[in-house]
Chain A
């Protein structure tokens, strides 16, 4: 059984690489064949991915959030699912190239380093943990997607300002659409992260005691949350500022990566997985 998990985990980067290549052809060449096979390949990859995570949870007896690499894999799946929703909703395939690149990166890192947890901390057995981490993962996925669209927004913005009508101009959706996706993903990330923080705080206060307030992971998470709050607040003003939202979402993404990777791997914290 664990062999099956390992096989699926190895297969995933391959599937995502295939999907990414198809989306690359869609973006650069608007290739008709790629347009037909890209989305189904990504759907297949998402399906295999979900199966892998379910199998992993069943075999090892815990939700797939116990190590940073499990969390990374779950985040990758979250990003794919949100992207597939956007793709069907607005019929937008050109941005898949950027999203799937990120997913491929996340999943490859995860598949390379993922290892079964031998000793599961009793802290992670709490049902509160499930809610906390699941909403944190959704929050991460939202931030990652928001950052990709923020980056694309800025690219198209500068291209338009310079009256340069290149590939970015001809392939990307309208600036208004990118701003909308950038904002909506940030909003979804903000809501999920709020839930994660609240549940996490309540749970930690009971389980760890007052020390949790100075935990680096909590601090990084709070900083991410504050940046997202700013993203949302900027847009709440009448008119809204696309560029400011875009920059903030990119900042949020960087802080998120730091909190997900650096804090877990470098700093000591009760929050460190495994």
Chain B
């Protein structure tokens, strides 16, 4: 294959520093849309899950251009990662777009909603997705599980092979490292989770604590879920309409209590989260003072995420009671977001390491056939020459001739092979390319090597 074909000019594809040569490893191409490139109406239509995803994977592999395929579909993104069987990146991308059109016929997307990346840019994108850098909520952790599921589905459909398997393993490791080695996933970035984290910062292990959630609306439910997520020992839910309290209690595994018994529960529980639509104050400072004297000074965490407020701001003045309102929590969320943002450079560093590792492997994949081809070529020339000259030697010397020429070839090849391995280790594919050119390893003719 002429080397000119390996660097196609493609209008839609972002330029990258390097396009992997087509050999054992063809180009990697990504076609996708996310919350930044496409509005929600478009993303909804392009979401492919379960059977639809399986059908798309199977269909994608029937074409001649795509060697391996992984499809990621979450509420914020639909992405197709392909390892192509052709060096023609543009044609590969077109076939992926066609695939998306066929399997998401209702999606009203056009080119402007899509991003098309290949080579290093595609790999970088996947690693950023895995680390949560491309998520709507920076550093969000669910995406890693979604990537695992997407890759597993593809592997099950035999749609992913050596290259994409390696790529996704790299992405999983990068995502995990980003979360353990940096604080990209640290600190709550939603108000209801911040409420649960704040409660844990005061009370310690929540398994030995009890909490009361006032209000069975959406916010109340989120708060209740985050508290159970942190293993709260006992959870009570109070609501103006008792039915909603019981319904939510059943869903999250809590006990519904009547709103009238609030005073009694105030002296029992360690944490109160209030999120009702009540226009007036539900718990006054006097209620809390009474409760505190019954508690013998045991700490009480009170979190008010309702607007207008449910808990009397005067409560703040009572000793050993920690009152926080929605402004406090939003401040905490902003601060956590800022801290995550500050971690991005460290995450990028990890991603760069992992990316280098992946391309090193990819080049190795490319190198192995080059080493083999080069050795075969030299061996073929040796045999041809030996066969030509064999008549000139006595029968007794044939074995010596064979041994001598073999040793000669081995000696001649020793340094070039070692150098090739060294090039691959540095990740410089162009040198491997030059070697293939120089020795005509990609030529179809068997007339290798110019003997005089």
Interface residues of A (CB under 8 A from B): 30, 32, 160-161, 163, 165, 169-170, 173-177, 180, 237-243
Contacts and interface: CB of A to CB of B under 8 A. Distances in A.
Contacts of A165: 331-332, 335
Contacts of B183: 30
B320 A241 contact: yes
B331 A163 contact: yes
A239 B296 contact: yes
Nearest to B204: A176
A175 B331 CA distance: 20
Contact of B203 (A32, A169, A176, A240): A176
Contacts of B201: 160, 169, 174-175
Contacts of A237: 296-297
A173 B204 CA distance: 8
Contacts of B118: none
B344 to A, nearest CB: 16
A68 B305 CA distance: 56
B202 A174 contact: yes
Nearest to B318: A161
Given A30-B183, A163-B328, A165-B331, A240 B204 contact: no
Interface of B: 181, 183, 187, 200-205, 295-299, 316, 319-320, 322, 324, 328, 331-332, 335
Contacts of A240: 296-298
B204 A177 contact: yes
Given A165-B335, A175-B201, A175-B203, 14 more contacts: A32-B181, A160-B201, A165-B332, A173-B204, A174-B201, A175-B202, A175-B204, A176-B203, A176-B299, A180-B204, A237-B296, A239-B296, A239-B298, A241-B320
Identify the 5 closest CB pairs spanning chains A and B, nearest first: A239-B296, A176-B204, A239-B298, A174-B204, A163-B328
Contacts of A32: 181
B296 A163 contact: no
B322 A160 contact: yes
Contacts of B187: 170
Given A174-B201, A174-B204, A243 B298 contact: no
B228 to A, nearest CB: 19
A76 B201 CA distance: 30
A30 B183 CA distance: 9
Contacts of B299: 175-176, 242
Nearest to B322: A160
B361 to A, nearest CB: 26
B272 to A, nearest CB: 15
Contacts of A242: 299, 320
14 contacts: A30-B183, A160-B322, A163-B331, A169-B201, A174-B203, A174-B204, A174-B205, A175-B201, A175-B203, A175-B204, A176-B202, A177-B204, A239-B297, A241-B320
Nearest to A234: B297
Contacts, number: 50
Nearest to A174: B204
Contacts of A169: 201
A160 B202 contact: yes
Given A161-B322, A243-B319, A174 B335 contact: no
| Best-buried of A32, A174, A177, A238 by chain B (most CB within 10 Å) | A174
Contacts of A161: 316, 322
A20 B35 CA distance: 46
A160 B199 CA distance: 11
B296 A238 contact: yes
A239 B316 contact: no
Contacts of B328: 163
A273 to B, nearest CB: 42
B206 to A, nearest CB: 10
Contacts of A163: 324, 328, 331
A163 B315 CA distance: 13
A150 B334 CA distance: 30
A161 to B, nearest CB: 7
A173 B297 CA distance: 21
Contacts of B319: 243
B202 A243 contact: no
Contacts of B322: 160-161
A163 B332 CA distance: 9
Contacts of B202: 160, 174-176
B210 to A, nearest CB: 14
A99 B319 CA distance: 28
A153 B428 CA distance: 56
B320 A243 contact: yes
A177 B200 CA distance: 11
A166 B233 CA distance: 28
Contacts of A241: 297, 320
Nearest to B200: A174
Nearest to A177: B204
Nearest to A239: B296
Nearest to B327: A163
A134 B295 CA distance: 40
Contact of B295 (A175, A239, A243): A239
A254 B308 CA distance: 47
A243 B322 CA distance: 14
A239 B292 CA distance: 10
A76 to B, nearest CB: 29
